[in-house]
Amino acid sequence: MTAILGLLSFALFIALIVGLVKPQLVLRWTDTPTRLKVFGYWILVTVLVWIIGVATKSDEDKTKSIIEAAKNFIEQENYSSAISRLEDIDKENPLYSEAQILLQQADSLNKVTEEEKKLAEEMEIKKAAEEEKIKQKEQLEREIKSVNDGVDFSTYRGTVDALQMELVLFGIWANIITEGENSDDPEIQMMAKQLKPKVANLQVKEFPKLRKEYANIVAKKMWENDIEVTASGTNNKYINFSGGIFAANKNKQDFQNEVYEVLKMFRFNQSRYRWYKGADEYTYWTIYEGKDSDLVTFDK
């Protein structure tokens, strides 16, 4: 059947050539033969021949096509596509044995490829982890050296934003230390332990200065509102707000709600409110009860 269809296709091609030269030789049944009609009939008959070819194609021919396609997929290292096609060939097919041999080959190659990919991924993960450890060590070395050489905190003065940037620096150090302590590398853990007390000592020195500076900055801003602001107590742990506006408890509460987060950030232990500076009694809120040496985190 395949041979017959091949001859028929060849005859149609010859008919097309002849018809394009002299349409009347091919379209004898019509009074107005044209090249366009010849081409149209050729398309129609060719499609019909193709449909007949597909419909009459033997199982063996179909299987051969599947096997050839599978071989091509194997050459392209697309083993999964080859396997899916070969698995569709049933046991009753005369080419089943050949398909099974090819299927085993594709399956073996596919497993090897998957294993290679898995090993490559594991190696990549291991390499990335090693690179990350190297970066951690280098960063810890830099930070330890920076602290040992002395940090110039004078640039973190003058505005509340500048003061907060110093706190951000402490927060960065805290993250570096925490990640180092959680590392499975003993050397990184040791370096993190070296950095931690150095940062803690810097915080003990710096937080009292930060609180004093913050109170001075806020005092200048509040002066025009007739509110006096000072820092007092050991290590400037208390911040004092004095002004007529604080004669009303609601004003104290509203003001406290506004400033609570920033006061906590600078680790003030108490905020105290008087309605005039010389008042013996004051209303206070407890804010931060930890130590200045505690590592800085912004989620507490």
Task: Return the domain boundaries, the chain.
Answer: 2-112, 138-203, 212-286
By mean pLDDT, which of 12-21, 153-162, 223-232 is the weakest?
A: 12-21
Tell me the pLDDT band of 124, cut-offs 50, 70 and 90: confident
Average pLDDT over residues 134-163: 95
Given a cut of 60, is residue 78 above it in pLDDT?
Answer: yes
pLDDT of the residue at 300 = 46
Give pTM, 2 decimals. 0.61
CA atoms within a 13 Å half-sphere pointing along the CA-CB vector of 116: 6
Over the chain, what is the mean pLDDT?
A: 86
Tell me if 176 sits within 8 A of 147, measured CB to CB.
Answer: no
The kind and range of the H/E element at 235 are none
With vertex at residue 162, the alpha carbon angle to CA 161 and CA 165, rounded to the nearest 5 degrees, is 90
**Pairing of β 270-274 and β 238-242:** parallel
Tell me if 238 sits within 8 A of 269, measured CB to CB.
Answer: yes
CA distance 216 to 270: 17
Given a cut of 60, is residue 163 above it in pLDDT?
Answer: yes
The residues, any chain, with a CB within 8 Å of residue 86's CB and separated by 6 or more, are 66, 67, 70, 99, 100, 102, 103, 106
CA distances from 5 to 45, 50, 113, 174, 233 (A): 12, 8, 42, 81, 105
Tell me the pLDDT band of 54, cut-offs 50, 70 and 90: low
Q: For the segment 282-297, what is each residue's pLDDT rounded down to a tens digit?
A: 999 999 999 999 999 8
Q: For the segment 88-118, what is each residue's pLDDT rounded down to a tens digit?
A: 777 777 777 877 888 788 788 777 777 777 8
CA atoms within a 13 Å half-sphere pointing along the CA-CB vector of 246: 25
Q: For the segment 200-212, what is each residue's pLDDT rounded down to a tens digit?
A: 999 999 999 999 9
